A and B are shown apart, each in its own frame.
Chain A
């Protein structure tokens, strides 16, 4: 009988350790994937508190996935009266404080919402440290606490309390690179329902006298698609790469806007480039600067006479970096010019 040599045993031992450590290292990532799938695929009805920038808001979310068709309603309970409703390809934003309703229609399939959202992969691991901190009880549910810590200041991190049974995030903290909390979401109630009726997705806002802004019907032809091909980013923060590009007509607008998407596997940034340039009087030119929607940042600037706006759930420096790096592709320009 042949006996194993000490060197073989050592090799197997090391191999077993590597396999075990790899599996262990992958498990927090698996929890992230399960969570994102649960948020997309499950039916749920919940009320949660949203803390950000010194404000607490209560919101109500109803989400249904019926054979791949997602219907969703998100409404403020605290007085803004704003509602967001997704029905198939139509996204409707009710802003009663602005007496405005925005209706954005997506073309074709429901696109990235179901299958194309950023996924955390090996490359992403270079820019985030992801680990399981502990297992704990929250609201009498067994949860895994997963920490996603950015390795630089171009992105935010998360602390997630993920329900072990349903993979739903019961509590979510958004943190900066120094670990400071900048946003928090905590569910006060959450029901996973087998069926949710259509009536749960009806708006409660009375829209009499409101301004309605709808996406204009997209003209047939190649021009809208080519609009995005003319633009790219010269430089990107580490880990970010282009993951999607399209052209769309925003509600209330006539001309298409190029839409580029950059992601590092967890965070994503959209860049919108207005395709129509015109001579704008100096006193009406947009001022380059940062705006915020919650913890998300937006930065707008003008490049080659075109307004460029970057929006993403990243620190302000990142949207500024990306927006400022956008340029027109000379190769695409020459290919698009008459004579070719």
Chain B
């Protein structure tokens, strides 16, 4: 069963899985946490295998975000209206058992991988189980903070994690969410790695999107 799933995931990333099977896999993704984790790993592996930079540079990050953000729900008629506070509210992006979520995750990864294999000037084409995304907004750069120190800081991972957790209690809620998300998600909580130079530094055309 796992081999079959791996085969399907791989085919989906390679754009070789028939649409009907894509939809079924997306539905399953919405329910299966372990499968979601495998999907995430395939996203990283796929990018590496293609020889592309895993880094989401330039237009890609924002376009993926826009596609994700503007992805319409698959079955509008099923959406329940939002309830007032205190009652169970309708789940967004979930017209049929989370398929939109899974489709959105699928769309995110597929768009990302496709963009990495296309010339920079090629238009972004949404290929997913969901309807086509809305036209993409003007791109924004995605940069790494400029390096100040080339030396690594010797700090054990657990010591840095301790400090981050202790500090997070004094952050604003939105900052706290980002901080803890980074701690949960990335390996950078390990011994500090040298910062990398900003990739798009000095490019005046790449700015945060003022238009949603």
Q: Identify the A interface with B (CB < 8 A).
A: 35-36, 39-40, 42, 47-59, 61, 74-80, 82-84, 91, 93, 95, 97-98, 100, 102, 104, 106, 111-113, 116-118, 133-134, 136, 138-141, 143, 145, 147, 157-161, 165-166, 169, 171-176, 178-194, 204, 213, 243-244, 248, 250-252, 259, 261, 263, 266-270, 272, 286-300, 309, 311-313, 315-317, 320
Kindly identify, within residues 42 to 79 of chain B, every residue whose CB is under 8 Å from any CB belonging to chain A.
Answer: 43, 53-57, 61-62, 65, 68-70, 72-73, 79
Segment among B4-12, B19-27, B87-95 that sits at the interface with chain A: B87-95
Q: Identify the B interface with A (CB < 8 A).
A: 33, 36-37, 40-41, 43, 53-57, 61-62, 65, 68-70, 72-73, 79, 82, 85-94, 98, 101, 104-105, 108, 112, 140-149, 151-155, 157-167, 169-193, 195-196, 198, 200, 206-212
Contact residues in A for B105 (Cβ distance below 8 Å)? 49, 58, 188
Cβ-defined contact, B101 with A188, below 8 A? yes
Cβ-defined contact, A102 with B184, below 8 A? no
Given A95-B161, A138-B69, A192-B85: A57 touches B181 (CB 8 Å cut-off) = yes
Identify B158's interface contact among A35, A106, A213, CB under 8 A: A213
Query: What are 25 pairs between A and B in contact, CB < 8 Å?
Result: A50-B182, A54-B55, A54-B142, A57-B184, A78-B185, A95-B158, A98-B158, A102-B161, A117-B171, A159-B210, A180-B200, A180-B206, A180-B208, A181-B143, A189-B91, A190-B92, A250-B166, A252-B158, A287-B153, A291-B152, A291-B188, A292-B188, A295-B182, A298-B164, A313-B178
Cβ-defined contact, B91 with A287, below 8 A? no
Q: Considering the chains assembled together, what is the distance between the CA atoms of A80 and B157 in angstroms?
A: 14
Cβ-defined contact, B148 with A117, below 8 A? no
Of B55, B57, B161, most buried by chain A (CB within 10 Å of CB) is: B161
Cβ-defined contact, A186 with B172, below 8 A? no
Given A56-B112, A139-B69, A311-B167: A193 touches B88 (CB 8 Å cut-off) = yes
- Nearest to A297 among chain B residues (CB) is B145
Cβ-defined contact, B101 with A289, below 8 A? no
Contact residues in B for A141 (Cβ distance below 8 Å)? 92
- Nearest to B198 among chain A residues (CB) is A180
Contact residues in A for B68 (Cβ distance below 8 Å)? 49, 186, 188
Contact residues in A for B93 (Cβ distance below 8 Å)? 139, 188-189
Cβ-defined contact, A251 with B162, below 8 A? yes
Contact residues in B for A187 (Cβ distance below 8 Å)? 92
- Nearest to A61 among chain B residues (CB) is B177
Min Cβ gap B91→A in Å is: 5
Identify B164's interface contact among A97, A251, A311, CB under 8 A: A311
Min Cβ gap B144→A in Å is: 5
Min Cβ gap B130→A in Å is: 12
- Nearest to B207 among chain A residues (CB) is A179
Other than A56-B112, A189-B94, give 13 A-B pairs with Cβ distance below 8 A. A36-B172, A74-B181, A79-B37, A79-B40, A84-B165, A91-B165, A104-B162, A116-B170, A117-B172, A139-B93, A181-B208, A184-B61, A185-B181
Contact residues in B for A190 (Cβ distance below 8 Å)? 91-92
Cβ-defined contact, A290 with B163, below 8 A? no
Cβ-defined contact, A47 with B152, below 8 A? no
Q: Considering the chains assembled together, what is the distance between the CA atoms of A136 and B66 in angstroms?
A: 13
Q: Considering the chains assembled together, what is the distance between the CA atoms of A263 and B160 in angstroms?
A: 20
- Nearest to A111 among chain B residues (CB) is B169
Contact residues in A for B186 (Cβ distance below 8 Å)? 52-53, 55, 57, 80, 293-294
Identify A78's interface contact among B40, B169, B180, B200, CB under 8 A: B40
Given A140-B92, A189-B93: A294 touches B148 (CB 8 Å cut-off) = no
Contact residues in B for A317 (Cβ distance below 8 Å)? 148
Identify A292's interface contact among B57, B141, B192, CB under 8 A: B192
Min Cβ gap B50→A in Å is: 15
Cβ-defined contact, A82 with B41, below 8 A? no
Q: Considering the chains assembled together, what is the distance between the CA atoms of A78 and B163 in angstroms?
A: 24
Min Cβ gap A143→B in Å is: 7
Cβ-defined contact, A133 with B210, below 8 A? yes
Cβ-defined contact, B57 with A54, below 8 A? yes
